Amino acid sequence: MSTTLTGAPVSPGRAADVVVTMPAPVPEPPEATVAESPSEIDAAVGRLTAASEAVTERLGALADAATGTAAEVLAVTAAMAADPTLAADAERRVRESRLTPERAVWDAANALAAQLEPLGPPLSERARDVRDVRDRLVAELTGVRPPGVPSPGHPFVLVAEDLAPADTATLDPESVVAVVTSGGGPTSHTAILARALGIPAVVAVRGADDLAEGETVVVDGGVGTVVRDPSAEQVEAARRAVRVERTFDGTGRTADGHRVELLANVADPEGAKAAVAAHAEGVGLFRTEFCFLGRDTEPSLDDQVAAYRGVLAEFAGRKVVVRTLDAGADKPLPFVTADDEPNPALGVRGLRTAVAHPEVLDRQLQAVADAAAAENADVWVMAPMVATTGEARAFAEACDKHGLARSGAMVEVPAAALRSRWVFEHATFGSIGTNDLTQYAMAADRMLGDLAELSTSWQPAVLELVRATCEGARANARPVGVCGEAAADAVLAPVLVGLGVTSLSMTPRALADVAAVLAEVTFARCRELAQVALEQPDAGAARDAVRRELAGVLEPLGL
């Protein structure tokens, strides 16, 4: 008898395969010693050397077999494993203190990581690689499963509590056919990466921790289900539904030709290239933090100009919406944010940092203006975390001073959505950040898997705020896009368009699915679907009702 587990659907598509679970963290070895005889000590050193060679070789092979970011991450770890410093220190600890090889590796790696950590990036980032090598060596020496995404040599459904950024970097879409997690939310790392790679994923699945190694499951990342003990027909049907590879033709529109600009979210020049390859019409959200994060001091004007030009250069003649620095909360920056706020998500973040540090915003706007003058993109600028009309006005004035005519406001605070008519007297366009708007509307931390059902933009309350934002913008004849993760949900897209959104900005990978769904529905139908969603009692009901209405569209598209 099959049973169905449910969770939050975060990346569409169906898959059926065996479960492979993420290994448990490698336990700290006890502080044990080996016997005092020279032969025992030599044997311990021998085991250490053998483990070190085996781990280096295996990492090298994994790096060679991987592609893209996974290959880069693994190559760095392999180089770290091959570096003799760690092995030499561990050997010294075995010989001098008679520590077991696993304890010697543990202590040696921790000492090395502690030296690297205070040195600042990029050296401090190597501390993580040292710990990764430590765990792999200890696993080899003690016979437990090595850390990281397993490579069993066949396709599988990866089941984990949640995935860390380093794990997600080594996720290979060729072998991981679906991802199921017990934690995480719709805007967690796992969700964002699975969508970017096009891997079906369901997060915050109740009962996922009970899934056993090797059992077959059917995962539906569009509806959020994991079927245990599936029938042969269910497995067959899921395998047949292997996602059709689609491409976006570069013009978003509904079946009756109503234009909906389909844009990309990018964070660096590499992302801009991926967006161009996916035929994005432009960039709807350029997150500029990449040039600030991991630094103790503000980047110079010249550094910023060069960094922004790298993205603008890819989009000559097309729109690029640059978001000014969104420091604070999950992105602390020592030169603009405090590290002792009791509630950082409700603290001095985004545009609010410009009150105490107007010069940082000023320099960034100058850099954007200079980069825009040097390139041919159509540059728009917007501020994160606008809450009041006064903030929208102050930002528009700051942009004016730098000759940036297209200045806008991100709507991610419910207050701005409710006061949209006034905000858009100053902001010349809007972009709804549904990740934060949902977090603040539902009072649900966007990173908490336990709150996944609250943390979805399918919540009718969030849809109401989207509607209110669009209404106020329309009254001032301003365009409004969505640039949060909701824009990448192909089923939600017609609802957002029906609520009045004029553009959608998403991970490039989602463009083709969103375009395909929009091309099948008229604008009038989008408005009906928006109404259907708004009338539901909760997020699950809204999603189910719209999916039912769209069944004839979604089924043939494999969504």
Q: Which is nearer to ligand PEP, 290 or 366 (CB)?
A: 290
Q: C-alpha 303: how far from its chain's center? A: 26
Within 10 angstroms of residue 534's Cβ, the number of other Cβ atoms is 17
- Return d(Cα 145, Cα 344) in angstroms, integer: 37
Q: Give the nearest distance from C-beta 111 to ligand PEP in angstroms.
A: 37
Q: Give the nearest distance from C-beta 350 to ligand PEP in angstroms.
A: 8
Does residue number 435 form part of the binding site for ligand PEP (CB under 6 A)? Answer: yes
- Return d(Cα 37, Cα 54) in angstroms, integer: 26
Interacting stretch for ligand PEP, rule CB under 6 A, among 7-15, 233-241, 433-441, 461-469?
433-441
Q: Which is nearer to Mg ion, 428 or 439 (CB)?
A: 439
- Return d(Cα 529, Cα 533) in angstroms, integer: 6
Report the sign of the C-alpha dihedral through residues 151, 157, 161, 162, in that order. Answer: positive
- Return d(Cα 284, Cα 264) in angstroms, integer: 6
Single-letter code of the amino acid located at 371 = A
Q: Give the nearest distance from C-beta 411 to ligand PEP in angstroms.
A: 9
Interacting stretch for Mg ion, rule CB under 5 A, among 262-270, 435-443, 499-507, 521-529?
435-443
- Return d(Cα 432, Cα 483) in angstroms, integer: 6
Q: Which is nearer to Mg ion, 486 or 529 (CB)?
A: 486
Q: Which two structure tokens, joined as six digits, stand for 215?
A: 């059992």
Single-letter code of the amino acid located at 466 = V
Ordered DSSP codes for 292-361: TTT-SSPPPHHHHHHHHHHHHGGGTTSEEEEEPP--BTTB--TTT--S--S-GGGSS-GGGHHHH-HHHH
Window 268-297: residues binding ligand PEP (CB under 6 A): 285, 287
Window 463-492: residues binding ligand PEP (CB under 6 A): 483-484
Tally of residues, the chain = 559
Number of residues that bind ligand PEP (CB under 6 A): 10
Residues in contact with ligand PEP, shown as a per-residue x/- string from 317 to 356 under the rule CB under 6 A: ---------x------------------------------
Does residue number 485 form part of the binding site for Mg ion (CB under 5 A)? Answer: no
Q: Which is nearer to ligand PEP, 37 or 343 (CB)?
A: 343
Q: Which helix (H) or strand (E) holds 6?
A: strand 3-6
Interacting stretch for ligand PEP, rule CB under 6 A, among 149-157, 168-176, 254-262, 430-438?
430-438
Q: Long-range contacts for 89-92 (Cβ within 8 Å, ≥24 apart)?
A: 90/48, 91/45, 91/48, 91/49
Single-letter code of the amino acid located at 304 = Q
- Return d(Cα 321, Cα 303) in angstroms, integer: 19
Does residue number 190 form part of the binding site for ligand PEP (CB under 6 A)? Answer: no
- Return d(Cα 526, Cα 283) in angstroms, integer: 24
Q: Give the nearest distance from C-beta 120 to ligand PEP in angstroms.
A: 24
Task: List, in sequence order, every residue forming a beta bridge with 331; answer none if it has no partner.
Answer: 328
Q: Which is nearer to ligand PEP, 219 or 497 (CB)?
A: 497
Interacting stretch for ligand PEP, rule CB under 6 A, among 142-150, 434-442, 458-466, 524-532?
434-442
Does residue number 434 form part of the binding site for ligand PEP (CB under 6 A)? Answer: yes
Interacting stretch for ligand PEP, rule CB under 6 A, among 95-103, 202-210, 253-261, 432-440?
432-440
φ/ψ of 254, rounded to 5, equals: -85, 175
Q: Give the nearest distance from C-beta 269 to ligand PEP in angstroms.
A: 18
Q: Give the nearest distance from C-beta 351 to ligand PEP in angstroms.
A: 12
Q: Phi-psi region for residue 294, left (φ > 0), alpha (ψ -120 to 50) or beta?
A: left
Does residue number 436 form part of the binding site for Mg ion (CB under 5 A)? Answer: yes
Residue 29 partner contact from Mg ion, ligand PEP, none using kind-dependent CB cut-offs of 5 to 8 Å: none
Does residue number 436 form part of the binding site for ligand PEP (CB under 6 A)? Answer: yes
Does residue number 433 form part of the binding site for Mg ion (CB under 5 A)? Answer: yes
Window 394-413: residues binding Mg ion (CB under 5 A): 412
Residue with tokens 């545009």: 351
Interacting stretch for ligand PEP, rule CB under 6 A, among 242-250, 256-264, 294-302, 431-439?
431-439
Q: C-alpha 363: how far from its chain's center? A: 28
- Return d(Cα 3, Cα 43) in angstroms, integer: 51
Number of residues that bind Mg ion (CB under 5 A): 3
Report the catalytic residues. Answer: 189, 483
Residues that bind Mg ion (CB under 5 A): 412, 433, 436
Residues that bind ligand PEP (CB under 6 A): 285, 287, 326, 412, 433-436, 483-484
